């Protein structure tokens, strides 16, 4: 009886592991509603002290599932020119050798300049608060490399085109928060995309951008390609 | 006829022992820690309460952590966990859920505590039998003399009647 009940306790959502087959001989009291107490998994007792025991066929057993952010293709239905993003993470404390097993989150706006997880406010009118497009997470390999498939970002007032990057160690401790800038000038990807349907009137260039203006030489990626075949962005980031 | 929805608020924290609960605890804590560091930059704030009380936008953290546990919710197959009917079966289904961060801390996993609120579809509350609610799924096109498949669910801590409509 003991072993059978131990197995039952492994069922997803099955009630308290402390429930024994001889539940009716135990006086199980229901957990109280104090803050900080754990889930009400102990079946409450009825007036004569008997409690219903969970009795269901075992399984399926829970399996580790990565967060939905963990994906290489972050396009998520957004339209735009294809952009492959390759980022190499290097370790300052290890002679700028590649850093493996780092978690790298990237995110950027869509072709119209809108972000997922934001909206309905002055900063962004379009409400995308419950979607997660153009956000993704990858883990660096032994070469320190992460790769994403995305679209070339659009732009919004006050900022030059950019991609946000947050690098963590494998335990989730933040190592660096930074942004990637794009090369400017005739023939560059930025010029070819030309701001999608918005054009580039009123665009803020890197030298005037409040994040990049003092140091964009180190934050500019290398971008190759064209609107037909798509673009490839390569960037090294030291943490 | 009284139509209700039930909601079960499942609290998961460092004391949770069941395998599913522990997976959700670990994944939600790691995600909280990573997302919270987007808000805590240039501050010395580390707790969820401090962030929500001081940093505009930190209230988004629950929504930002939800993608870390959607896969686990999916594994439940829409069956509300823990709540048994009177013959020992989890007979309640949920069609909606919500993640709530109660407390947490970027530097202290022990402080991490979340709740997942599970909401049932509309149920007919036929009667109460002692401490038990006699319920069946609400089927608007059923006629009055159709036999209803019912369940007895005990009124218990963390299980709430969260909406009521009399028709």
Parse chain A into domains and list their residue ranges.
1-63, 82-238
Distance CA B167, CA A33 (A): 32
Considering CB atoms only, which of A40, A68, A172 is closest to B30? A172
Whole-number mean pLDDT of chain B? 95
**A195 pLDDT above the threshold of 60:** yes
Q: Does A178 touch chain B (CB under 8 A)?
A: no
Distance from CA of B58 to the nearest CA of A (A): 12
Nearest one of B147, B118, B120 to B133, comparing CA atoms: B120
Q: Does A123 touch chain B (CB under 8 A)?
A: no
List CB contacts (< 8 A) between B153 and chain A: none
- B34, A55: Cβ pair inside 8 Å? no
**A4 pLDDT above the threshold of 70:** no
- B81, A13: Cβ pair inside 8 Å? yes
B62-67 own/partner pairs: CB under 8 Å, 24+ apart: B62/B99, B62/B100, B62/B101, B63/A117, B63/A129, B63/A130, B63/B99, B64/A117, B64/B31, B64/B35, B65/B28, B65/B31, B65/B32, B65/B35, B65/B99, B65/B101, B65/B114, B66/B99, B67/A67, B67/A68, B67/A69, B67/A132, B67/B31
pLDDT score recorded for residue A14: 40
Distance from CA of B27 to the nearest CA of A (A): 8
Residue B122 sits in which domain range? 2-166
pLDDT score recorded for residue B138: 94
Range from A42-46, A79-83, A132-136, B57-61 carrying the lowest mean pLDDT: A42-46
Residues A71-98, mean pLDDT to the nearest whole number? 97
Distance from CA of A150 to the nearest CA of B (A): 19
Is residue A232 packed enough to be buried (19+ CB in 10 Å), middle (13-18) or exposed (0-12)?
middle
Distance from CA of B35 to the nearest CA of A (A): 9
- B10, A168: Cβ pair inside 8 Å? no
Q: What is the CATH number of domain A82-238?
A: 2.60.130.10
What's the number of domains chain B is made of? 1
Nearest one of B116, B80, B87 to B101, comparing CA atoms: B116
- If you measure CA to CA, which chain B residue comes closest to A32? B157
pLDDT score recorded for residue A7: 45
Alpha carbon separation from B24 to A136, B100, B139 (Å, rounded): 20, 13, 33
- If you measure CA to CA, which chain B residue comes closest to A36? B113
Q: Does A52 touch chain B (CB under 8 A)?
A: yes
Local confidence band at A49 (pLDDT 50, 70, 90 cut-offs): low
Q: Does A14 touch chain B (CB under 8 A)?
A: yes
Distance from CA of B106 to the nearest CA of A (A): 9
The better pLDDT of the pair A10, A205 is held by A205
Look up residue B6 and give its two tokens: 């039930």
pLDDT score recorded for residue A154: 97
pLDDT digits (tens, 9 = 90+) for B51-101: 999 999 999 999 999 999 999 999 999 999 999 999 999 999 999 999 999
Burial B96-107 (b: 16+ CB within 10 A, else e): ebebebbebbbe
Residues 6+ apart with CB under 8 A from A93: none
Q: Does A74 touch chain B (CB under 8 A)?
A: no
The CA-based angle A93-A94-A96, given to 5 degrees, is 95
Taking the C-alpha atoms of A128, A133, A134 and A136 in order, what is their torsion angle to the nearest 10 degrees? 120
pLDDT digits (tens, 9 = 90+) for A102-144: 999 999 999 999 999 988 877 888 999 889 999 999 999 999 9
Hey, CA dihedral for B39, B40, B43, B48, is it positive or negative?
positive
Local confidence band at A196 (pLDDT 50, 70, 90 cut-offs): very high
- A65, B72: Cβ pair inside 8 Å? yes
**A27 pLDDT above the threshold of 60:** no
Which stretches of chain A are DSSP H helices?
2-8, 189-193, 216-219
List CB contacts (< 8 A) between A64 and chain B: 23, 27
Considering CB atoms only, which of B76, B88, B154 is closest to A53? B88
pLDDT score recorded for residue A6: 44
Taking a C-beta distance cutoff of 8 angstroms, is the pair A179, A109 a contact? no
The better pLDDT of the pair A227, A214 is held by A227
Q: Does A34 touch chain B (CB under 8 A)?
A: no
Residues 6+ apart with CB under 8 A from A97: A90, A91, A144
The better pLDDT of the pair A174, A26 is held by A174
Among B88, B94, B110, the residue to mutate for chain A (most A Cβ within 10 A): B88
Nearest one of B93, B99, B123 to B48, comparing CA atoms: B99
Respond yes or no on whether the N-terminal peptide bond of residue A69 is cis (omega within 30° of 0).
no
**B156 pLDDT above the threshold of 60:** yes
């Amino acid at each position: 009886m003991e072993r059978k009940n131990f197995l039952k306790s492994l069922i997803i959502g099955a009630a308290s592991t402390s429930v024994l087959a001889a539940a009716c001989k135990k006086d199980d009291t229901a957990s109280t509603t104090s803050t900080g107490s754990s889930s009400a998994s102990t079946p409450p007792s009825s007036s004569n002290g008997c409690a219903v025991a969970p009795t269901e066929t075992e399984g399926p057993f829970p399996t580790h599932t990565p967060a939905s952010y963990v994906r290489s293709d972050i396009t998520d239905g957004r339209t735009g020119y294809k952009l492959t993003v390759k980022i190499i993470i290097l370790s300052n404390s290890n002679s700028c050798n590649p850093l493996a097993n780092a978690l790298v989150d990237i995110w950027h706006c869509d072709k119209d300049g809108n972000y997922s997880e934001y909206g309905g406010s002055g900063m962004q009118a379009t409400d995308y608060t419950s979607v997660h497009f153009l956000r993704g997470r990858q883990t660096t390999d032994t070469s320190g490399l992460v790769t994403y498939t995305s679209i070339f970002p659009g732009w919004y007032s006050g900022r030059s085109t950019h991609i946000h990057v947050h690098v963590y160690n494998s335990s989730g401790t933040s190592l660096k928060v930074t942004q990637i800038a794009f090369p400017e000038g005739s023939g560059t990807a930025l010029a070819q995309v030309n701001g999608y349907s918005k054009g580039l009137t009123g665009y803020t260039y890197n030298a005037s951008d409040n994040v990049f203006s003092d140091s964009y030489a180190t934050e500019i990626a290398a971008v190759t390609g064209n609107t037909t075949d798509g673009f490839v962005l390569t960037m090294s980031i030291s943490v | 006829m009284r139509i209700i929805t039930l909601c079960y608020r499942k609290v998961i924290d460092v004391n949770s022992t069941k395998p599913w609960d522990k997976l959700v605890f670990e994944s939600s804590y790691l995600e909280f820690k990573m997302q919270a560091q987007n808000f805590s930059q240039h501050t010395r704030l580390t707790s969820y309460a401090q962030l929500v009380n001081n940093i505009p936008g930190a209230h988004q953290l629950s929504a930002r952590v939800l993608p870390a546990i959607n896969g686990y919710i999916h594994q439940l197959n829409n069956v509300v966990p823990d709540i048994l009917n009177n013959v020992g079966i989890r007979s309640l289904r949920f069609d909606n859920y919500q993640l709530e961060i109660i407390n947490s801390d970027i530097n202290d996993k022990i402080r991490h505590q979340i709740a997942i609120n599970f909401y049932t579809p509309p149920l007919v509350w036929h009667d109460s039998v002692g401490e038990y609610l006699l319920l069946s799924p609400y089927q608007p096109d059923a006629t009055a003399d159709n036999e209803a498949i019912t369940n007895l669910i005990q009124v218990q801590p963390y299980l709430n009647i969260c909406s009521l409509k009399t028709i």
